[in-house]
Amino acid sequence: MKDLWVFEKEAIGKGCKNIAGIDEAGRGPLAGPVVSAAVILPVTFRNSEITDSKKLSPPKRQRLYDVIYAQAVSIGIGIVDPIEIDRINILQASLLAMAMTVENLAPRPDYLLIDGIFPISSDLPQQPIAKGDALSISIAAASIIAKVTRDHLMQKYHHYYPQFGFQKHKGYPTRAHREAIRKYGHCPIHRKSFKGVKEYV
């Protein structure tokens, strides 16, 4: 079994106590916000099912979401809407959402483990980790929280814009979603700068 606590243990060895894993969900969709989560887990936390959210079925993600919320020291959420995504681009929006999560944590973390290769805007010590959601327990937990939170939001958006089928594809560019855009045009939560939407704006 791969030890998903390696990066957390290194930070603890440096004297850090509250280590936050940070990840986002929703960079690829044509609609909806990008959602980030930061999770501080207790050092006693153990759950062999926690892994990159993309490898989990929706029911399992929901169950682990509940487990993480019940046991985490702190969870922070950051959400950037499609208007801002169009204004600053999806990469910058993702990094902004990640930075928001840190401000929403209490207690304040003293070290950040970030999924990806880019640092975020923060005065805290941080470590970007490529494919971190498969290497760090804290980032993996954050990936689950971010994904489930975003899915819940897209299910709510379905009630406002049922013609697009957001409850099924969550805004991702499936064939059904692309066909709905061709038929109905775009709605207020579509990302107008994205290929597949901008042609119909």
> What's the CA dihedral at 120, 121, 126, 128 to 10 degrees?
10
Give ∠ CA 145-150-155 in degrees, rounded to 5: 130
Q: Is the pLDDT of residue 152 over 70?
A: yes
Q: Is the pLDDT of residue 1 over 80?
A: no
SS3 call for 129: strand
Q: Say if CB 42 and CB 10 are below 8 A apart.
A: no
Other C-beta atoms lying within 10 Å of the C-beta of residue 119 = 14
Q: How confident is the model at residue 138 (pLDDT cuts 50, 70, 90)?
A: very high
Strand boundaries in 97-146, DSSP class E: 111-115, 126-129
Q: Say if CB 113 and CB 21 are below 8 A apart.
A: yes
**Residue located via tokens 């939170």:** 149
Task: Please name the helix (run of DSSP H) or strand (run of DSSP E) that holds residue 19, with its range, or none.
Answer: strand 19-25
Closest C-alpha to 71, from 53, 98, 50, 51 = 50
Q: What's the pLDDT tens digit per position in 175-197? A: 999 999 999 999 999 999 999 99
Q: Say if CB 8 and CB 113 are below 8 A apart.
A: yes
Q: What's the pLDDT tens digit per position in 95-124? A: 999 999 999 999 999 999 999 999 999 999
Q: Say if CB 155 and CB 167 are below 8 A apart.
A: yes
pTM given for the model:
0.97
* Contacts of residue 48, Cβ cutoff 8 Å, sequence gap at least 6: 1
Structural domain boundaries in the chain: 6-160
C-alpha to C-alpha distance for 159 and 154, rounded to whole angstroms: 9
Q: What's the pLDDT tens digit per position in 41-99? A: 999 999 999 999 999 999 999 999 999 999 999 999 999 999 999 999 999 999 999 99
Domain at 6-160, CATH class: alpha beta
